[in-house]
């Protein structure tokens, strides 16, 4: 997968809530091209993002209530955060090629800035994020894509709130977040927020209602796993694993996420007896890991 952008390329906002950089940038297409999901899903995401960043500001909030928030949800390691980055890159490329805007800003909210106990002090942070920090980032009018991982912690379901938390606090906190989201939608029509979550049950109903789009990113099927395996193997200088082996391995790996599939290859590479690089990776090396993990699961 692509390199993280070097530290110096990221800038921080003055509140310490998020880091941002300018897109498009070299290498970032991989966050899109090398994440294998249903092509139709990618088309939907792209068309929504492009609509939001190009046209949303023309519409009245009453006439066409677009909030500029989409949710990607699904099991861990299925490519949600990667796709969010990739989507930002592809849209940035489109916008710059069409002369719409030479630069798109991409930002990621620091997960530590918004702890899961979103009450008291951290509630204040969340409101500041939505009402100060993000509006400031959008102020210059560039298209902005922001990723907020684990949105659950931000807008906890009021009907499910329990577990030792004072329900009145949760109520207040979540209502304040909803107000913040509405405020952001009204002052930053050039901003697209991509939220991610592992599960939707604990997201507040009123928050779910505000999403323009919720897309499930599920575990890959055998064909998807085969594509991910092939892509991972392409990263290596030399392999002796044919298409048939890949198909059989993929079938045996059903139920794993894209992240886990790539990790199997990594394990096969680093745990074999003779770890000398150019010896090509063989099907046997990979089967050893698959079988090992099967035994552990049983």
Ligand X SMILES: Nc1ncnc2c1ncn2[C@@H]1O[C@H](COP(=O)(O)OP(=O)(O)OP(=O)(O)O)[C@@H](O)[C@H]1O
- Picked from ligand X, Mg ion, none, the partner binding residue 79 (CB below 5 to 8 A depending on kind) is ligand X
Site string for Mg ion, 68-107 (x = CB under 5 A): ------------xx--------------------------
Comparing CB distances to ligand X, the nearer of 68 and 77 is 77
DSSP code, position 54: H
Q: Are 91 and 51 in contact (CB under 8 A)?
A: no
Q: How far is the CB of 35 from ligand X (least distance, A)?
A: 4
Question: Smallest distance from the beta carbon of 76 to Mg ion, in angstroms?
Answer: 7
User: Which residue's CB comes closest to Mg ion?
Assistant: 81
Nearer to ligand X, 17 or 31 (CB): 31
Q: Of ligand X, Mg ion, none, which one does residue 200 interact with (CB within 5 to 8 Å by kind)?
A: none
Beta strands 191-197 and 18-23, pairing class: unpaired
Q: From the list Mg ion, ligand X, none, which binds 77 (C-beta under 5 to 8 Å, kind-based)?
A: ligand X
For the chain, the C-alpha Rg in angstroms (whole number) is 21
What does the alpha-carbon distance between residue 175 and residue 178 come to, in Å, rounded to a whole number? 5
Nearest distance in Å: CB 251, ligand X = 17
> Residue with the closest Cβ to ligand X?
258
Who contacts 169 (Cβ-Cβ below 8 Å, separation ≥6)?
A: 119, 120
Say which entry of Mg ion, ligand X, none residue 164 contacts (CB below 5 to 8 A, set by partner kind). none
Phi, psi angles (nearest 5°) of residue 18: -150, 160
Q: How far is the CB of 19 from ligand X (least distance, A)?
A: 16
Q: Contact, 187 vs 138, CB < 8 A? A: yes
> Are the CB atoms for 130 and 123 separated by under 8 Å?
no
The DSSP annotation for 203-223 comes to B-HHHHHH-SEEEE-----HH
Instruction: State the nearest-atom distance from the C-beta of 109 to Mg ion, in Å.
Output: 12
List, in sequence order, every residue forming a beta bridge with 105; answer none if it has no partner: 22, 144
Between 181 and 220, how does the x/- string for binding to Mg ion read (CB under 5 A)? ----------------------------------------
Residue 47 C-beta: closest distance to ligand X, Å: 20
Mutual angle of helices 243-252 and 222-234, in 10-degree steps:
130
Q: Please choose which of ligand X, Mg ion, none residue 262 contacts, taking the beta carbon within 5 to 8 angstroms, the exact cut-off set by kind.
A: ligand X
Residues 219 and 256: beta-carbon distance below 8 Å: yes
Footprint on this chain of ligand X (rule: CB under 6 A): 1, 34-37, 76-82, 196, 198, 220, 228, 257-259, 262
- Per the CB < 8 A criterion, the answer to whether 148 and 194 are in contact is yes
Considering beta carbons, is residue 23 or 178 the nearer one to ligand X?
Answer: 23
Of 142, 135, 145, nearest to 49 by C-alpha is: 145
User: Footprint of Mg ion on this chain (CB under 5 A)?
Assistant: 80-81
């Amino acid at each position: 997968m692509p390199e993280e952008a070097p530290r110096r390329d990221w800038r921080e906002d003055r509140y310490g809530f998020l880091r941002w950089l300018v897109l498009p940038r070299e290498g970032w297409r991989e966050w899109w091209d090398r994440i294998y999901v249903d092509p139709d899903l990618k088309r939907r995401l792209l068309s929504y993002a492009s609509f939001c960043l190009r046209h949303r500001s023309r519409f009245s909030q009453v006439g066409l209530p677009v909030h500029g928030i989409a949710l990607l949800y699904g099991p861990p390691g299925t490519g949600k955060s990667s796709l969010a980055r990739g989507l930002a890159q592809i849209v940035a490329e489109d916008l710059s090629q069409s002369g719409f805007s030479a630069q798109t800003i991409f930002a990621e909210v620091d997960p530590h800035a918004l702890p899961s106990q979103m009450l008291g002090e951290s509630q204040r942070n969340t409101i500041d994020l939505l009402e100060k920090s993000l509006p400031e980032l959008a102020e210059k009018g560039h298209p902005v894509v922001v990723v907020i991982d684990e949105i659950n912690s931000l807008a906890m379901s009021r009907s499910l709130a329990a577990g030792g938390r004072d329900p009145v606090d949760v109520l207040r906190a979540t209502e304040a977040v909803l107000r913040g989201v509405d405020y952001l939608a009204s002052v930053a029509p050039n901003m697209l927020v991509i939220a991610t979550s592992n599960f939707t049950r604990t997201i507040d109903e009123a928050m779910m209602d505000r999403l323009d789009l919720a897309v499930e990113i599920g575990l890959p099927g055998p064909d998807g796993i085969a594509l991910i395996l092939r892509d991972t193997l392409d990263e290596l200088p030399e392999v002796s694993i044919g298409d048939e082996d890949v198909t059989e391995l993929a079938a045996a790996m059903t139920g794993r996420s894209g992240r886990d599939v790539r990790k199997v290859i990594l394990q096969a590479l680093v745990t074999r007896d003779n770890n000398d690089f150019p010896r090509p990776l063989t099907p046997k090396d990979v089967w050893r890991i698959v079988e090992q993990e099967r035994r552990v699961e049983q």
